[in-house]
Amino acid sequence: MVVVRHAKAEAYGSTDFDRELAPRGLGDAAAAGAWLAEQGVGADAALVSAAARTRQTWEVLSGAAGWDVAADYDRSLYGADEDGVLDLVRTTDETIGTLVVVGHNPTMGLLAQLLDDGEGEPASVDLLMQGYPTSACAVFDIPGAWADTAMGRCRLSLFNVGRGKDTRDNS
């Protein structure tokens, strides 16, 4: 499973739900997707908050990663806490190998920290514990079935914060 916090959004929108990605966010989402591809991380399904910034993050990230996966845009992810997200994850079809979840903080950061069993790659665990900024991606190994996914039972294998070129920069 890959837990992603949306990329950097504009400060204002007609509503918080409608805020779109800032130019920096577009570059960061692309960098995150490219990094996931470089690590050999694929995607079989995606659960994405229906908010504008998370939809855009998914579109840019998945494009840069080379994934051809239709996302399930779920409005309940917009305000979900970590238990609510985990409830949605547990409904994932068992034929799915890798699920990508794109949402908002503080939920995504808390979820990543709570899923971690503390036995993963030490440098990644250290980075995860330092915070969960925009475009953060945590890749977990999930033991067993999706329905049995639980806090403290997943192994963090990779962690990265996508930082790319501001799309306004034409150099």
Residues 76-117 have pLDDT tens digits of: 999 999 999 999 999 999 999 999 999 999 999 999 999 999
Ordered by where they begin, the domains of the chain are 2-10+19-161 (3.40.50.1240)
CA end-to-end span of the chain, whole Å?
35
The percentage of residues in the chain with a pLDDT greater than 90, rounded to a whole number, is 95
pLDDT tens for each residue of 58-79: 999 999 999 999 999 999 999 9
Q: At 102, phi and psi to the nearest 5?
A: -115, 120
- Taking the C-alpha atoms of residue 166 and residue 95, their distance in angstroms, rounded to an integer, is 37
Q: How confident is the model at residue 170 (pLDDT cuts 50, 70, 90)?
A: very low
pLDDT score recorded for residue 171: 37
Tens-place pLDDT, residues 16-37: 999 999 999 999 999 999 999 9
Rounded-to-integer distance, Cα 148 and Cα 80, Å: 19
With cut-offs at 50, 70 and 90, classify the pLDDT of residue 165: confident
CB count, 10 Å around CB of 27? 23
Entry pTM? 0.95
